[in-house]
Amino acid sequence: MIAYQSTLLGRTEVAEDTMAFRFEKPRSFLFKAGQYIDLTLLGSEPGGSNGLTHTFSIASPPSAEELVVTTRMRDTAFKRALSVLPIGAEVRVEGPMGSLTLHNNTARSAVLLAGGIGIAPFLSILSHTAAERLRHPIFLFYANRYLEDAPFMDALWELERANPRFRFIPTFTRITKNYRGWKGETGHISPEMLSSHTGNLRGAIYYIAGPPMMVEAARRTLNEFGVDEDDIRTEEFAGY
């Protein structure tokens, strides 16, 4: 695996207890939308079960000049160190890795199911799709507990406005209709929710990214929906 040097350029709060970190993209670093990296904080003191290295999906598209990763700010040794990392600090990037990348056949729709921070690889894919004017029909079902928990909502709405082939369906599991004016979906992603937005869709490829329990539940939902296992691709976000 190739290792690259990079530096921290900035950090932004993108949802409650959720931060996005921007790193310089090494000149020779190439990746596909949907892939991930291992990020090592150089010069930090070891501590905690996570150590100094953490795995992150890349949230930015391949055409961007920066590498963006995002994470829930849990109380771990790695994330405590990351939260106070000085701007300009050096880090090591290893990768890219992973195969949660968009299929090539534009005649087959892509149905993306994201839970929480699992939105990261899909944001990269959707941004890349828009930048390259790819013609895949895409549906994104995005589940969070509350509106405040959901990273990148504004960016996703903007991507939907810019791409007539993309439909964005967020849903919230712990709110009711009209919570802070919300009039969209509520509850977990279900076969009924999928059917109401995709209709009699046939031949789609389904992608799932999120915490392990969410991925398992979404896979069961797709099985109930009649999706063949060969048409399901997943990535679990443990410890995020």
For the chain (240 residues), the mean pLDDT of every run of 10, in chain order, is: 94 97 97 97 55 90 98 91 94 96 97 97 98 97 95 98 97 82 92 92 94 94 94 80
Which amino acid, 218? A
pLDDT at site 178: 67
Specify the pTM.
Answer: 0.93
Selection from 78, 83, 91 nearest residue 41 by Cα = 91
Q: Which domains does the chain have, with CATH numbers?
A: 3-97 (2.40.30.10), 110-236 (3.40.50.80)
How far apart (Å, rounded) are the C-alpha atoms in residues 194 and 192? 5
